[in-house]
Every structure is written in structure tokens, then in C-alpha cells.
Amino acid sequence: MTTDSPSQDLSIQECWVIFENWLRDNWQEGYQALNPPITSDQLQLLERSLDVNLPEDYKESLRIHNGSSGNVGLIDGQEYLHHEEIIKQWKIWDDLLHEGMFDDSADEDCDEDYDSQIQPNCWWCSKWVPFTHDGSGDHFCLDLEPSSSGQSGQVITMWHDSPSRTVLATSFREYFGRYVIGVISGKFSYSEDYGGIINKSDLENDD
């Protein structure tokens, strides 16, 4: 995975300034969907509910915008979750885990489909924090319990219908910076049909 990109030089605050300016110019509804900052009480509730200590870069982002409202596809076609929705989505998966819904999963199949930087838990780990949702059970998550070759706080994919899990970035800051650079460079664009910002290659594949 390549990590030497201009996004690494951008702070979380700089990323949000750039992204907000783009949204104002290109998608007012998306800009207006951004929530105000998370409060200290809300942040404590989030960490307590998930029994985690969130990475500082992600907490910094929440202190600028506590996710979004209105189910708009702000992050690669997915909703950027506020703290209550994070808790809700996390609890859905964690309840399934503790009910034994994934006990019959074949560990060897998960090993084959997992990035080596991710613990091969197969389907779900309680230390994954979903920060996006596509409305169909798929998420991008912060992985707070990686393998020995991974990095705590790395961003991973989480699909509801496939055991495949991939590392997208080593941190939220790296992921968000890369995404913002992709947006302003034209790699991503707003699609009214999709109701959000999506990768242009996805549009081309649908043509």
C-alpha cells in the first residue's frame, strides 16, 4: 500500500477546510448536512459505549463535524456517521457476534480473504469502529485491534456479505486526506443519481 502522498501533509483541520469549500461550490446539500462539533459528553458516551479509546486524529475530526445528517453520501458514496449512528451500527454487528452468528464461519476462508495487517476475526471484531455506512450493511471502519503487522487506527473495509477485509490507509488522517485530495482533483464527483460523492470509475463501470 502506498502511503507517500500529499495527503500526509494535510492536518485534519486543513482537510475539512478544503472539503467544506468544495462542498459549498459543488454540493450545497452535502455541506448543509454536516453536523456541528461533537460535545465532550457525546464523545465520552461514544467511547464508553464501544469500550475503546478512539484515535486522536478521528476525535479531532469529530470535534469539527460530528458526522452528518440526512443520509447523504459524503464519503465515497457512504454516509459519514455521527456518534449515535456509530453506536447503533456497531451494536448491530457486536450483538450478532455475541449471539454466535459467525461461529460457523470457516477460519481458513477468512485467512485467505484478509489483509495480513488485519486480525483474521472473520466478519466482525468488537474493536472495529464503523465511521461510514452505505445503507446496506457495508462500512469503512477504524481497526483498533490490528495484526502484529498492522497499525492501530488503520482504516479497513467491512462488507456485510463477504469476509474480505482490506486496509485502505494506516490512519484516519491519511484516509481522509487522500479522499479530500481525490475529491478536489476530480477523482470523485457528486452524482445526483447516487445521492452522494462517488468515485468516477464507478460511474464509468455503470455506463
Domains of the chain listed by start with CATH number: 10-206 (3.40.1580.10)
Alpha helices in the chain (DSSP H): 12-26, 28-32, 40-50, 56-62, 83-98, 107-113, 172-185, 200-206
> At residue 98, does pLDDT exceed 80?
yes
3-state SS, residue 157: strand
Burial of 181 (0-12, 13-18, 19+ CB in 10 A): middle
Residue 66 has pLDDT above 60, yes or no: yes
The model's pLDDT over 143-183, given as tens digits with 9 standing for 90+, comes to 999 999 999 999 999 999 888 899 999 999 999 999 999 99
pLDDT digits (tens, 9 = 90+) for 19-37: 999 999 999 999 999 999 9
Percent of the chain with pLDDT over 90: 75
Strands 167-169 and 154-158: antiparallel
Q: What is the pTM of this model?
A: 0.91
3-class SS at 30?
helix
Residue with cell 453506536: 87
